[in-house]
Amino acid sequence: MPHMIFIESDGTRREVDAPLGLSVLEIAHKHGVDLEGACEGSLACATCHVVVDPDWAPKLTAPTEDEEDMLDLAFGLEKTSRLGCQIVMTEALDGLVVRLPRTA
């Protein structure tokens, strides 16, 4: 089973199982990681915002224009910011590291 790592806003690292085909948002919810995802993956909010580790960012498929537009609304946007509901787990992403953005 692939795994991935969430770095919570207080710096806590959480390594969790990351079943193939699930989005980062779904994986977060499965493990009680505090990522909101208000629209449940329909690209209508930016509350699933995560900051991808710079080493991993190039390995992800490029964001769609809709994702980019939504990200523009995210608080604390960074260069490697993505929407967690749009990152789907694949073998190639085994070990993925994402950070939860600061909320204040």
By CB under 6 A, name the binding residues for ligand FES: 25, 37-41, 43-45, 47-48, 70, 83, 85
Residue 90: how many CB atoms within 10 A of its CB?
15
Kindly state the smallest distance separating residue 86's Cβ from ligand FES, in Å.
Answer: 7
Q: How far is the CB of 44 from ligand FES (least distance, A)?
A: 6
Residue type, 61: T
Q: Which of 86, 80, 88, 71 is nearest to 41 (CA)?
A: 86
Q: Please, which residue, 20 or 38, has the CB nearer to ligand FES? A: 38
CA of 56: how far to CAs of 40, 46, 51, 53, 81, in Å? 24, 20, 10, 5, 11
Residue at shortest CB range from ligand FES: 85
What is the smallest separation between the CB atom of 39 and ligand FES, expressed in angstroms? Answer: 3
